[in-house]
Amino acid sequence: MESPSRAEQQWVVQPLIDVGVDVDEIGHLLFRLAFEAVVSEGRDTLAGAVGLVADRSAEVRAAWAEVIGRLLVLDAPP
């Protein structure tokens, strides 16, 4: 799979930017998501993804859910 373009990367994280999450925090969340996926070998990744923002506002949790959905769209075969 080829790397997403800069425009695709922006599209993926835009929901979090729109609700005011700092770019560094977005990077941290995505790193933790990737780490959880590797460590768990893909098992329970969705539960872990939700847990990453469990203590955040409803807006951030909804934006994070949108980001996860967008990541899945990018990962889908053409």
Q: What is the pLDDT of residues 4-41, one digit of tens each?
A: 789 999 999 999 999 999 999 999 999 999 888 888 77
The 3-state DSSP class for residue 69 equals: helix
| Comparison of pLDDT for 35 and 59, the residue scoring more | 59
* Domain total of the chain: 1
Percent of the residues in the chain that have a pLDDT greater than 90, as a whole number: 55
pLDDT tier at 43, thresholds 50, 70, 90: low
Per the CB < 8 A criterion, the answer to whether 53 and 63 are in contact is no
32 in a structural domain: yes
* Structural domain harbouring 38: 6-75
44 in a structural domain: yes
- CB-neighbour burial class of residue 42 (10 A; exposed 0-12, middle 13-18, buried 19+): exposed
49-53, long-range: CB within 8 Å, 24+ apart, which pairs?
53/29
1 in a structural domain: no
What is residue 27's DSSP assignment?
Answer: H
17 in a structural domain: yes
Q: Can you tell me which residue has the tokens 């955040």?
A: 56
